[in-house]
Structure 1
């Protein structure tokens, strides 16, 4: 079974919630939520980039005979799916922004 670790729900809290030192949850201020959401997106993009780098390394190993074709194909598919997911999320964010800009006040 293939596990998507890009958006692992165990390690990420909602951008609107913050945990304090005593593990209680409180609502974040808008500024804190923006910072958390920005860091969440940056982490997700870094994971996509890391998957792409892994594919390049496996391709190089495959060319010299140190990796199996199965490993290369699986890593390539994971990377491609992550990139497609990232592109779709970007498209939905742009659509949402355009819809907000079309709203009349």
Structure 2
């Protein structure tokens, strides 16, 4: 089964549990820091998938991996990269929309 580990629900559940466990409201700086950590972990996951795809292709060249394993690993890395690109595009678009609003 193909899974995208970049945006897993486990990370969301842990963030929800943390927010309900805290009795005081978090400051904007703490919220930005936790969001930044989440994005950093997501980008690290994408990089790890790309590294795994390269390792699988190297193992295929040596004869230690099947073609289907290599294709699955490379497609997972490609989909994660495309998702990351689309999320970045939406963030840039939202930023530009905010900058266009007049006060």
If the length of structure 2 is used for normalisation, what is the TM-score? 0.89
Provide Cα deviations, 1:51-85, integer angstroms capped at 9, x if missing partner. 00001101110001000001000000000000000
Alpha-carbon shift at residue 18 of structure 1 (Å): 7.2
Q: Which sections of structure 1, spanning at least 5 residues, go unmatched?
A: none
Residue 87 of structure 1: which of 85, 88, 94 is its match? 85
Q: Which sections of structure 2, spanning at least 5 residues, go unmatched?
A: none
More helix by share: 2
**How far apart, in 1, do the equivalents of 2:68 and 2:26 lie?**
45
Q: Specify the alignment match of 2:18 in structure 1.
A: 19
Aligned residues of 1:18 and 1:28 also touching (Cα < 8 A): no
**How far apart, in 1, do the equivalents of 2:99 and 2:17 lie?**
29
Larger relative contact order (Cα-Cα within 8 Å, sequence gap ≥ 6):
2
For the aligned residues, what is the CA RMSD? Answer: 1.8
Aligned residues of 1:7 and 1:44 also touching (Cα < 8 A): yes
Q: Specify the alignment match of 1:96 in structure 2.
A: 94
Partner of 1:10: helix, strand, or coil?
Answer: helix
More strand by share: 1
Question: Could you list the runs of 4 or more consecutive aligned residues of structure 1 that deviate by over 4 angstroms after TM superposition?
Answer: none
Partner of 1:96: helix, strand, or coil?
Answer: helix
**How far apart, in 2, do the equivalents of 1:102 and 1:86 lie?**
24
Q: Specify the alignment match of 1:46 in structure 2.
A: 44
**How far apart, in 1, do the equivalents of 2:9 and 2:17 lie?**
15
